[in-house]
Structure formats: structure tokens, C-alpha cells
Structure 1
């Protein structure tokens, strides 16, 4: 558990409490509304907000330690906070005398939460947003459909990517409690099932003028931050698996006549299996703390010139991409190793141990690692800069024809 004195005891208590019913939520596919609200009230949503604005003022290494502990209790919750963590970062990255930054610093201190709404289904989203912001006599409105809107169902605000009438790619923040916002919990993936990653429909949803800006004007390491949060989630998953396999083996009495000992908790082969999972958990934690340091460096570069900011952002992008490539196989192997220590008893559905593999497999499918490996190799061989902003969707026919 985190022992940083800047982290209030109430938050540590809320983190522990979030894990108490995590297995049942998984088995019942019950969203953690109450747990997330308790965590927000205890300070999880203002980890990086300066203390003068009512936040905890943590750097990324310190914040990551807190988030890993939470991910070990329930990895779905940390993923649900992914969009919020980006909005928090953007608010503290830009000068605090800007109107939008001031609004958000106060909202964060008051416990308001943001969710993500970037990805679009079908043909939307590839190179340009299908979601559109238009100007009306009553102000800006946004229309479109988003999928994988992680965390938005828990949030007060939605972080939406869209394009304006001139074709510029924008980031807009939309109040979630208005009639023009409809959010469904229809995420059908086999893992990370309680992240609230469903469909959001925007119908003439109002946008304040100061809540609309060019996507490229956001803090320059935003995609690295998004990937970092997924690495935190992955670290929490393998840490939880290590804890559960150890607890199960320590009390296990059933054994095989050809085992090494009559007591499973002293069987050297089973202890080796647990040790291998434990080692990967330690590896993942060390790796994610290292990527956190690159985020701290990128944040510190906010006072540098644009070239200095870009250099730090690219370093963070490469670091998080390399970590994704390096960790995905060891973590997936480790959470599978759980069943080697427990035999057929480990596959009992009531134990829910399969959730660790399903969750890890789901997280490692986001932002495919194969592309990150190619990008890292291209940078190593040719010095090619990493891709920092990308999109996903079905290419429009003319684009497919041009690149085929």
C-alpha cells in the first residue's frame, strides 16, 4: 500500500473498499458507480491538481503508485478514470490564468469527473471525426456517435473529439447531464467489462465556447498518458493475480498423490509458479514507474519552447510504447500460470480467476502493440519520430483506393 504522506487516509480507505466487492461486480457485470463516487470524494480525481487549488499535488511517479494500488483492487476503475486523468493533466499543463484552465481546476477540486468519448464506430473516426461541431444562434452544438466511451457513464463531463465546419479536428468538453447526451452500457468485450465503455450519442449537445479547442493544442504527450494508464491497469491485473494465487495456495489442502509434498503450500513446483507471477508483477510495477518518470519530464517541459516540449513528448511516447511491447507477453503468461498452481480447482467460475487473463488480454488489445514495436524499431534504426496522435475507423472508399 502507498505510504506517501500526501495521500489522505480517506483515499487509501476508499481504494481498499473498492476491492471488497470487485469479484461480485465482475461476476454480475455490475458497474462500480458507488465505488467511483467514493473514490472521487476521497481525492482520486485530483491527484495531480496543485495543492493551492485543493488537489494533492502529486507528480506522476507518486500518482502512479496510487493508481497501481487501485488497479490491483479493481482494474476496471482505473481504466474508467483514463479520460479524467487526461483532462486533469491538460488543466494543469496550460497556464492557470486561462479561463478554461481556471474552470477545470475548480471543477476538479469540487470532485467533478470527466470521461472519454474519442472513438467512433463504423466509418467514423479514420483520419477525421464523423462527430461535428456546428455554430447555431444559441451557441456551439455537437452531433455524433461515439463508442468505447470509457468512464463517461460515471462522469459529469465528456471529452469529445469532433471536427468543425471548416474540417478542423477539435477537442470539446460536453456536460453529460443535458438532454442531448445519451450513454449506454453496451460494451460487449469479454474483459474489462465494468469500465463503462459503451456507446454515447450526442444530439445537439451544447458546448461552451471556451470548451472547444484544436485537438493539437492539448498537452503534447496526451497519447503517452493514455497508454501509461493502460500500463497501470495491466500492472494492477498481474498484481491482483499474484495476490489471489498466493492466498489460494496458502490455504489449499487438496493435492495429488504424485505431488512433491502433502501440503500444497510447501510444494516447490507450485511455489515456483507463484514466484513467477510475483516476479512479473514486480517487473510491471518497475516498468510503469519508469514510464511515469518520462511523463514527469514531459510535464516539466511545459515551460520550454515548442521544440523542447515536442522532444519530451516523443520520449514519453516511445517509453510507453516500448513498455507495452515489453510487458504484454510476460503479463499474459503470468496470469495464465495462475492455473498451474491451483489445478482444476482454479477454473471454478465462482473464483473468477479467469478475469485476470480476460482483462489483461483486453487491455493489451488496445492501441495494438505490434504497431508500437514497429515504431520503436523505426526510431532505433532510422530516427523516425513516433506517431503521437492517431485515429481508428473504417477508411472511406477514396482513402482505401488511394492506399491499396
Structure 2
């Protein structure tokens, strides 16, 4: 394979300092957006303009050249400010990663230029309705001038904010699975913000419908060429979301305790901040968040190895890196989900009844964490890890959800 510049990392503090003022600006409006279910359009726009979507693009092409680990460090910081936004950008960074793994050439270079210009990519993978396992209703059909896309998707996270949409579809002529890269602003594309979950309510998720949307041949990508560690990558975004929620929990509970005036007569000090038991609760939360963030960044390392190995000549090394990426993100998911959900509940042990005030919206941390942790059920991930450890069974890299094939 022809070699080309790779994104192997940059100075993290210099990179992060580009965006931290924007993260603070985003955090300042988070509670109001949460309470009004206002989509963070302005927040995503300022990130676009600042080049956030191109941090993984190699420096030689105008990006920041960040490593996978550095990307996820940034996403944790962003999730602390507003956990909805990194999830809304999940599909974008996955598509960027896919293009980073694509063979060098004009088509890849064109995508790098789009990313550097601030263009974002949304998601359209999950079928709606009574879809059986393995069935793909959304179809790409050949036409005289290329192809046309028809179908509908749910959980279309981030598509409302996007310039392009990464749509999983099936060709009507030969049955091949493909990625159709769709112009998000085409008249045949309709977005609905009808996600009804109790958490992560401003991710721009919901239904997207595609009616006779034209596609050029270069925007119909064989699914078999998709980057191998994609499932681990998608999962790692959710782990970064959870770790960021944990940091927000730690931030908010310490601030509330510092400012708290009232104490209980049977407490241990004249102030809440001086109460040893309250200090213990906050210390326990801090430790849980520390472990969650450390695990998230630790399991980002094999993804970077898989990316670099993609352009090497050692198939065994690349295969092992992809296995490690899947297994390590699965192990991290099992523990991080529990750590952050516990922290989101324990913060109320430190605050008492006043902590449940609707005006504070502290319940958003648990609701958002519970929602993020419900994607890709961790019970199956624990089994996959166990099967690998006991039997050496290689993990699945792609899976689907739908009705049982045996159902009527």
C-alpha cells in the first residue's frame, strides 16, 4: 500500500488550549439547553469554525494530527462541558477515522479538505420498523447517472447538524452492503428530532428519511472496506461521554458542597465542606471518575496501534491490534458504566434533598449516563471478553439489531 502522512500525535496541551475557551463557553449554556431541550446548534457551529472536526486529519493536509488517544482526551473534556455534543459528533469522527484508513488518493484527499473546511458527517445506520436480523430495507439503486438512495433510519445522531450523512444501505442490484454518503441538505432528506429518550436529549437523534436522493459512484463505498476497529471506536466515544459526565459530576458536587450553608444537627462539622463523611463521598466519586477516565484513555491505545498497523506490512500485527481494540473497549465499558452511574447517584448522598432541585438539573448526569450506558449492552460485552479469555474466540467486529429471524 502506498504510504502517506499519518496522524500519530501532537502536543496535547497546545491542542487542547485551542478549544478549552470554547468548551467553557459551551458549558455555560448547558443547563439552559438541557431544561429547554434546545439543540446545541451554536455550540457545534463554533466547534466547526475552530476546526474541531479535523483534529485527526494529518498536519500535512491542514488538520491537527492528533492521535486516537488525544482525540478521546478532547472528547472527555468536551463531554464535561456538554455530554450531548461528543455523542452528536460520534458519526463524524468515525467517518473521519474511516477515511484515515482509506487508501491514499484523490478521493481521500477530497474528504480531508472537507473536514478541514469544517464540514461534518452525521449517522444513518439503524433501520426503523419490523426489520429482521440481517435485513436492510434502505436501498441504493443504480441509475443512469449514478445511484439513488431510498429508505429511513432511526437513532440518526448528529444528522441534524451535519453536512453529510454516513448511511448504511444495501444495493438493490447485487445485494452488497454499502455506505452511502449523502448530502444532508438535499431536498430528498428529511430530519426529525423525535428521539424520546429521557437522557442525551439534545444529540440531534431521531428519524431521517431518504427519498430518491442521488449519489455519485464515489459516494457509494463498499462496506467490506470499512475500517476494522469501527465498533470499538463507536463504543469508545460513548466511554468518553461517560467519563466526561463523571468529570461534570465531580465538578458540580464539589462546587455545591463548597457553597452549602446548611448542615444537619447530627452531622460531623459546622460546615458541609468540613464534614468528614461528606468529604468521603466526594473522594469516592473523584476516585471513580479517575478510574473511568484512565480506563477510557488506556483502551484508546490499541485503536491507535490498529490505525498505524493498517499501513504496515504485518497482517498478524494489525489483526491483533484490532482484537485488542475490541476486547479492551469491551472491558472498559463493563466497569465504566457502573462507576459513572454510581457516581451520578452518590452525588445526592453528599447534597441531601436540596440537590434534587429542578433548577440545578443535577439529575441530568444520571439520566445522560444511563442513556449512554444503554447503547450496546455491556452484558454481551462481558460475555465476549470471557469467551475470548477462556476459548480464544475472536470478538465480533460488526453486529446488528432486529427481530428474530424465526419470528413470524
* In structure 1, distance between residues paired with 2:218 and 2:390: 43
Equivalent in the alignment of 2:189: 181
What residue ranges of structure 1 are gaps of 5+ in the alignment? none
Secondary structure class of the residue paired with 1:70: helix
C-alpha contact 1:280 1:331 (8 A) present in aligned 2:
yes
Equivalent in the alignment of 1:104: 111
What residue ranges of structure 2 are gaps of 5+ in the alignment? 1-9
1:400 and 2:406 matched:
yes
Equivalent in the alignment of 2:3: none
* In structure 1, distance between residues paired with 2:132 and 2:219: 21
* In structure 1, distance between residues paired with 2:103 and 2:20: 31
Secondary structure class of the residue paired with 1:162: strand
Equivalent in the alignment of 1:84: 92
1:58 to 56, 63, 66: 66
Equivalent in the alignment of 1:275: 283
The number of equivalent residue pairs is 397
**Displacement of 1:378:** 0.6
1:120 to 127, 132, 137: 127
1:48 and 2:48 matched:
no
Superposed CA offset, 1:127-166 (max 9, x none): 1311000011232111111000110100000000000022
For 1:5-404, what aligned pairs fall within 5 Å after superposition?
Answer: 5-7=13-15, 9-97=17-105, 99-124=106-131, 126-165=133-172, 166-303=174-311, 304-395=313-404, 399-400=405-406
CA gap 1:215/1:305 in 2 versus in 1, 3 angstroms: farther
**Displacement of 1:276:** 1.0
* In structure 1, distance between residues paired with 2:279 and 2:360: 20
Superposed CA offset, 1:4-59 (max 9, x none): 25416442221221111001100100000010010111121011100111100010
* In structure 2, distance between residues paired with 1:12 and 1:101: 30
**Displacement of 1:171:** 1.0
**Displacement of 1:64:** 1.5
C-alpha contact 2:289 2:339 (8 A) present in aligned 1:
no
* In structure 2, distance between residues paired with 1:219 and 1:72: 28
C-alpha contact 2:243 2:336 (8 A) present in aligned 1:
no
**Displacement of 1:122:** 2.1
**Displacement of 1:390:** 0.5
* In structure 1, distance between residues paired with 2:407 and 2:75: 44
**Displacement of 1:3:** 7.6
* In structure 2, distance between residues paired with 1:268 and 1:245: 15
C-alpha contact 1:128 1:169 (8 A) present in aligned 2:
no
* In structure 2, distance between residues paired with 1:24 and 1:319: 36
Secondary structure class of the residue paired with 1:7: helix
Q: CA RMSD in A?
A: 1.5
CA gap 1:305/1:132 in 2 versus in 1, 3 angstroms: farther
C-alpha contact 1:144 1:202 (8 A) present in aligned 2:
yes
C-alpha contact 2:51 2:117 (8 A) present in aligned 1:
no
**Displacement of 1:216:** 2.0
C-alpha contact 1:128 1:163 (8 A) present in aligned 2:
no
Runs of 4+ in 1 over 4 A off after TM superposition: none
CA gap 1:400/1:63 in 2 versus in 1, 3 angstroms: same
Secondary structure class of the residue paired with 1:361: helix
* In structure 2, distance between residues paired with 1:125 and 1:281: 39
CA gap 1:279/1:111 in 2 versus in 1, 3 angstroms: same
